[in-house]
């Protein structure tokens, strides 16, 4: 009998049984005077003791606002010290942190706030071309004239107010500094009592993932889910209190808030944020000036760093490890990262938001071929299997759907039991939708994915969501969205558009219309106007044929 495609990670590796706030306090007690957080673009530095003071003040301030365990607290900001402080403070008071993508526009923000039922939102004033204040004022009637904490809004009945990171926000917003001042109303004993009431299996985070139904789904994660996943990732990297990790990946995503923030916190390592968003020069400078030992990124980030004209000016010899994830890594890129960036122990990780996120990871001792042809082996205390259409494990070496089970699997999708049941079966297996092959040694190779999903620069994009969005344009009668290969981002988006009779819309018009309403990474790079789509005899759209045609046309240009 051939060996089935099933593997179990180390079952003897102990899981952390604490809540995130308690684990944070443990690290502070162990390494009070070691550096915890460096935020280059804000010129801020915190030891673990100083970070704990900021976190506890913020936690008491949230309690002064009336934030209760289970309340949803939105965070809508690029990478900054306040993001990190809010993450740990919300965990201490039991508030469920709702990660809002900094690139979201009003349509996406509207959905996230309403679906999660946020009680409070903490926001930056602006980011790139997005005016957060203006979008919130447009979405929330009465915000400008209301008192923070006493907001009443029919559209968002649970929302009580908005905290702004701006020094002088518009009327109706509570400034961050004003919020911190409210901490005086709650003593440390009250915070300790609140913290002691929390359980590690309770939800503490909601992260929105694009859905095949066209609406994002809120993956709901517990203390245990994300604390242990960050811990296990750090264990694989061999992190200690002497490591210093540069984090150019966004905090709103699991890569930043779990694999970086929680991975470092559980090991006493230093977090270094080079900028509010990815910038290759700022990243290189942070590595050199802070003598970093580890660096995270998706392949496109590493390519941008390697190819930057000023890379030679920076000493990167302090680096030893890091993680490359989010997309397939070309072998030449991995060779250059190891050779030119001194990251001899760099690892590949695979997972999804619904699994906290990492379920498979290579090891520092794996050879180069393993690190570029596979996504590693099953993490400790987890199980992976590859199944056929009937749910049976396929023999090793055969293609099937990858499924994961264990501590990392989410609690479910927020207020969406139907979608939860469709993703997690009765035996607790999370069905990833990715096609994979497991070899004799248990290494897994991803050979495909959910047929519609596009991965552009590490961002997961589901065409159905974009199609439903473009349907709202008055000139669009029908639209189909596909992905085509791209050397820089992995894939680019192509929208095939059929217009209503008598209507006219140009590629530039649709692009500009979309830019104002959805995140920039979702805006199609190419548009193709057609009278009909390739169809099967039964009337189903042939997306594979559309992809072939698009690739041929783009190659010819």
Average pLDDT on 183-195 reads 98
Average pLDDT on 342-363 reads 96
Q: What is the pLDDT of residue 215?
A: 78
Question: Residue 414 pLDDT more than 50?
Answer: yes
Quote the Cα angle for 512-518-520, to 5°: 75
Which percentage of the chain shows pLDDT scores above 90?
81
Q: What is the pLDDT of residue 190?
A: 98
Q: What is the pLDDT of residues 71-121, one digit of tens each?
A: 999 999 999 999 999 999 999 999 999 999 998 999 999 999 999 999 999
Question: Residue 128 pLDDT more than 60?
Answer: yes
Residue 505 and residue 530: Cα distance in Å, rounded? 12
Q: What is the pLDDT of residues 212-267, one digit of tens each?
A: 345 789 999 999 999 999 999 999 999 999 999 999 999 999 999 999 999 999 99
Whether domain 461-556 has CATH 3.30.300.30: yes
Q: What is the pLDDT of residue 212?
A: 38
Instruction: Report the DSSP pairing between strands 412-413 and 217-222.
Output: antiparallel
Task: Tell me the domain boundaries of the chain.
Answer: 6-14+219-448, 47-199, 461-556
pLDDT band at 451; cut points 50, 70, 90:
low
Q: What is the pLDDT of residue 521?
A: 93
* The domains spanning 6-14+219-448 and 47-199 adopt the same CATH topology: yes
CATH class of 47-199: alpha beta
Between 21 and 542, residue with greater pLDDT: 21
Question: Residue 537 pLDDT more than 60?
Answer: no
Question: Residue 357 pLDDT more than 70?
Answer: yes
If you average pLDDT over every residue of the chain, what do you get?
93
Question: Which has the minimum average pLDDT: 48-52, 101-105, 420-424?
Answer: 101-105
Burial zone of 178 (CB within 10 Å; 0-12 exposed, 13-18 middle, 19+ buried): middle
DSSP state, residue 114: H
Q: What is the pLDDT of residue 213?
A: 43
Selection from 332, 340, 339, 366 nearest residue 348 by Cα: 366
Average pLDDT on 485-501 reads 91
Q: What is the pLDDT of residue 538?
A: 45
6-14+219-448: CATH homologous superfamily? ANL, N-terminal domain (3.40.50.12780)
Q: What is the pLDDT of residue 448?
A: 61
Question: Residue 442 pLDDT more than 90?
Answer: yes
Q: Is residue 396 a contact partner of residue 5, using CB atoms and an 8 Å limit? A: yes
Residue 98 neighbours by CB under 8 Å, 6+ apart: 72, 73, 74, 75, 112, 116, 118, 205, 206, 218
Residue 355 and residue 375: Cα distance in Å, rounded? 15
pTM attached to this predicted model = 0.86
Between 173 and 370, residue with greater pLDDT: 173
Q: What is the pLDDT of residue 461?
A: 82
Q: Which residues of 496-507 are buried (b: 16+ CB within 10 A; e: fewer)?
A: bbebeeeeebee
Q: What is the pLDDT of residues 284-336, one digit of tens each?
A: 999 999 999 999 998 888 988 998 999 999 999 999 999 998 766 777 789 89
DSSP codes, 296-357: EE-HHHHHHHHT-TTGGGS--TT--EEEE-SSPPPHHHHHHHHHHS--TT-EEEEE-GGGSS
Q: What is the pLDDT of residues 27-43, one digit of tens each?
A: 999 999 999 999 999 99
Q: What is the pLDDT of residue 214?
A: 55
Residue 162 neighbours by CB under 8 Å, 6+ apart: 120, 121, 122, 123, 136, 140, 143, 148, 151, 172, 173, 174
């Amino acid at each position: 009998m051939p060996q089935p495609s099933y593997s179990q990670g180390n079952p003897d590796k102990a899981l952390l049984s604490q809540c995130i706030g308690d684990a944070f306090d443990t690290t502070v007690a162990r390494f009070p005077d070691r550096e915890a957080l460096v935020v280059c673009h804000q010129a801020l530095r915190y030891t673990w003791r100083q970070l704990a003071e900021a976190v506890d003040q913020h936690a008491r301030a949230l309690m002064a606002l009336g934030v209760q365990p289970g309340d949803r607290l939105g965070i809508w900001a690029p990478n900054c010290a306040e993001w990190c402080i809010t993450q740990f403070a919300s965990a201490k008071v039991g508030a469920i942190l709702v990660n809002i993508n900094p690139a979201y526009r009003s349509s996406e923000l509207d959905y996230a706030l309403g679906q999660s039922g946020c009680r409070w939102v903490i926001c930056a004033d602006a980011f790139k071309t997005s005016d957060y204040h203006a979008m919130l004022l447009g979405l929330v009637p009465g915000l400008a004239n209301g008192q923070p904490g006493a907001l009443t809004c029919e559209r968002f009945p649970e929302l009580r107010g908005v905290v702004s990171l701006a020094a002088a926000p518009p009327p109706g917003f509570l400034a961050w500094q004003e919020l911190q001042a409210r901490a005086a109303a709650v003593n440390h004993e009250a915070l300790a009592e609140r913290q002691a009431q929390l359980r590690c299996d309770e939800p503490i985070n909601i992260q929105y993932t694009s859905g095949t139904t066209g609406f994002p789904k809120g993956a709901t994660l517990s203390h245990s889910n994300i604390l242990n996943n960050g811990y296990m990732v750090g264990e694989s990297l061999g992190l200690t209190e002497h490591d210093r990790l540069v984090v150019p990946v966004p905090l709103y995503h699991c890569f930043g808030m779990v694999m970086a923030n929680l991975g470092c916190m559980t090991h006493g390592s230093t977090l270094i944020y080079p900028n509010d968003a990815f910038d290759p020069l700022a990243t290189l400078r942070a590595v050199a000036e802070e003598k970093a030992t580890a660096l995270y990124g998706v392949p496109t980030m590493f390519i941008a760093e390697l190819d930057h004209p000023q890379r030679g000016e920076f000493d990167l010899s302090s680096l030893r490890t890091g993680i490359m994830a989010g997309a397939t890594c070309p072998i030449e890129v991995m060779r250059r990262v190891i050779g030119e960036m001194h990251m001899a122990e760099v690892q590949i990780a695979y997972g999804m938001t619904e699994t906290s996120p990492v379920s498979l990871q290579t090891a520092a001792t794996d050879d180069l071929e393993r690190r570029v042809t596979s996504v590693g082996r099953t993490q400790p205390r987890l199980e992976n299997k590859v199944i056929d259409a009937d749910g049976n494990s396929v023999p090793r070496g055969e293609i099937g759907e990858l499924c994961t089970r264990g501590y990392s699997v989410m609690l479910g999708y927020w207020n969406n039991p139907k979608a939860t049941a469709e993703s997690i079966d009765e035996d607790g297996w999370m069905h990833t939708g990715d096609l994979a092959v497991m070899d004799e040694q248990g290494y897994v190779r991803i050979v495909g994915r959910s047929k519609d999903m596009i991965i552009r620069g590490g961002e997961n994009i589901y065409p159905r969501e974009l199609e439903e969005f473009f349907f709202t344009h008055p000139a669009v009668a029908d639209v189909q969205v596909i992905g085509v290969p791209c050397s820089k981002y992995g894939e680019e988006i192509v929208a095939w558009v059929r217009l209503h009779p008598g209507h006219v819309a140009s590629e530039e018009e649709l692009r500009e219309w979309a830019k104002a309403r959805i995140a920039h990474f979702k805006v199609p790079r190419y548009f193709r106007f057609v009278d009909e789509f390739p169809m099967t005899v039964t009337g189903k759209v042939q997306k594979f044929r559309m992809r072939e045609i698009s690739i041929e046309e783009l190659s010819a240009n």
